[in-house]
Amino acid sequence: MSQRPSVTVASEAASPSALPYALLFALVFVEGFSSLGAEIVALRRLVPQLGSAITVTAPTIGFFLLALALGYQAGGRVERDFLPRVRANFLMAAALIALGMAGPVVDALFTHVRPVWLAYLVFVGGVLCPIAWLLGQTVPVLTNLLRHERAGARSGAALYWSTLGSFLGSVSLSLLVMQWLGVSAAILVCALSLLALVPFLSVAAGHSGWQGNGLAGTLVVAALAANLWLPQQIETAYATYRVETVELPGMHEPRAFWVNNSLASLRDGSSPPRYARYIERLRKVMLEDMGFRDRRILVLGAGGFTLSHREPANHYTYVDIDPAIRELAERDFLHEPVRGRFIAADARRFVADTDERFDAIIVDAYSALTNVPGHLVTQEFWQATRRALSSDGVLFVNLILDQRLASPYARSVLGTIQSVFGPCAVELLFRDRPQGNVLVQCFAGPVPEALEPYTDERNRAELDLLRSR
């Protein structure tokens, strides 16, 4: 029968009390839990500001890992006062998590620091990376207090509990805490977990610890104030929401529905209500110009559900990744039930899996002001969307593009759509600003063959005109 390698804990210099086995591994477990939790919270905090594109997430993860590696190196150089070092690191990391990642603090940073990339560097370099560096020191520092038969067994045991904490932190925070309690709750769980161990570290180090414990208590109050008592936006695991009254010419007491700090929907108090320009244009095209009645309409990206608001002529299905958005829109924005069916799902997954066919599909999915999720602009997505249309169905896409449609993104996204649907109508709704809504309209059916341009040498214009009549 195999036996677990014997473990003893050495007394450290300047620390008269031995460190209990359970406390040692609780420390590295909480370090792993809180460090990866901080990374998840940071990525979530960046979504309302910069979107969720891989060009944002990948560098953020890279900077985090670099800081973690530097923390490992710094921890390996510590030669004495191991427990006071860990206690100080836990206090500083908890302060950075609780205060630096609080919603009002991050919003203020990205509001007042320009350009936006500078605010990003301040957040990542001034908050996230120091957290990773501080907590990364924990395992190499505490490994000095383990006495296994082999050095590999010592580091393996410490890394096991740290990685187990990281795993449970990533799963529990993203799938449970953020889903049910919000991002602020996840911040509090990470920060308070670190602070809860500070008194035990003080006792184990043989100190009265009144200063460290008093600072920990102060940080608890500050964490609660920054994440619960200060004005907060409504947060879910997927997005940040708020509803407020705005002033717009020609509208009577308009209310704005903000998603990830971007204006997602508008409605005013007129009878009938007025909406955002692109919504009014879509309603006119479908209801008046195309005479839609008793049609099946799929909307990918719910926003404020205004497309079907007080519109009983057709059957609407909304798909949005956030399960909470319908209740929030009904309670805080529409003040009445949403008209239509709601499905909480990823838009691409839905169109790929559905057996339903729709007379119209509206793609209006954004993770930030101009950021359409990357997996919703590829050929494969448009092909799946085309399959979900009826044989004579129509696709509408709401894009935010530059006025001249000259940027690489504008030309590429329009070219990608037309590579699947063929020629599409492109309508600029705003011509008085550098960027604005662009409404793209495409039809299902066979894609026309690409033709050669007319030239003076080969001009078939008259013949083609006859064939078109």
Contacts for 365 with CB less than 8 Å, ≥ 6 apart: 300, 301, 320, 347, 372, 373, 376
- Contact in structure between 223 and 94 (CB atoms under 8 Å): yes
Contacts for 372 with CB less than 8 Å, ≥ 6 apart: 365, 366, 399, 413
pLDDT score for 433: 86
pLDDT score for 207: 63
Residues 65 and 61: their CA atoms lie apart, in Å, by 6
pLDDT score for 98: 97
Determine if residue 442 is left, alpha or beta; phi over 0 gives left, psi from -120 to 50 gives alpha, anything else beta. Answer: beta
Are both 212 and 288 inside the same structural domain? no
Output the CA–CA distances (angstroms, integers) from residue 333 to 249, 327, 363, 437, in the order listed: 20, 10, 21, 22
User: Is 286 inside a domain boundary?
Assistant: yes
Asked which of 174, 206, 235 is the last residue of a domain, the reply is 235
Map residue 213 onto helix, strand or coil: helix
User: Is 465 inside a domain boundary?
Assistant: no
User: Is 448 inside a domain boundary?
Assistant: no
Are both 197 and 260 inside the same structural domain? no
pLDDT score for 62: 97
| Domain hosting residue 73, numbered range | 8-235
- Contact in structure between 397 and 282 (CB atoms under 8 Å): no
pLDDT score for 333: 95
Residues 11 and 454: their CA atoms lie apart, in Å, by 88
Asked which of 235, 254, 279 is the last residue of a domain, the reply is 235
223-269 per-position pLDDT tens digit:
999 998 887 888 888 889 999 999 988 899 999 999 988 889 999 99
pLDDT score for 309: 96
Are both 261 and 367 inside the same structural domain? yes
pLDDT score for 9: 45
- What one-character DSSP code corresponds to residue 100? I
Are both 258 and 213 inside the same structural domain? no
Amino acid at 420: V
User: Is 272 inside a domain boundary?
Assistant: yes
Are both 195 and 301 inside the same structural domain? no
Asked which of 187, 216, 235 is the last residue of a domain, the reply is 235
User: Is 452 inside a domain boundary?
Assistant: no
| Domain CATH number, residue 174 | 1.20.1250
46-102 per-position pLDDT tens digit:
988 888 888 899 999 999 999 999 999 999 999 888 999 999 999 999 999 999 999
Residues 297 and 278: their CA atoms lie apart, in Å, by 16
- Contact in structure between 307 and 421 (CB atoms under 8 Å): no
With a cut of 70, list the residues of the chain below it in pLDDT.
Answer: 1-19, 147-151, 206-212, 368-370, 468-469
Q: Residue 56: which H helix or E strand, with range?
A: helix 54-76
Q: What is the CA radius of gyration of the chain?
A: 28
pLDDT score for 329: 95
Amino acid at 431: R
- Which residues face 255 on adjacent strands? 245, 267
- Could you write out the DSSP letters of every residue in 65-82? HHHHHHHHHHHHT--S-H
Comparing C-alpha atoms, which of 175, 395, 209 is closest to residue 285?
A: 395
Are both 246 and 322 inside the same structural domain? yes
Q: Residue 170: which H helix or E strand, with range?
A: helix 151-172
| Domain CATH number, residue 350 | 3.40.50.150
pLDDT score for 452: 78
Are both 188 and 298 inside the same structural domain? no
Contacts 24+ apart (CB under 8 A), 50-58: 50/116, 50/120, 50/368, 50/371, 51/260, 51/367, 51/368, 51/371, 51/373, 52/367, 52/368, 52/371, 52/373, 53/367, 53/371, 53/373, 53/374, 54/374, 56/120
What is the edge-to-edge ordering of all strands in the sheet holding 296-300? Answer: 341-344, 315-320, 296-300, 358-363, 389-402, 435-443, 425-428
At 116, list the tokens.
């936006």
pTM: 0.82
Cis peptide before 115 (omega within 30 of 0): yes
At 274, list the tokens.
């007025």
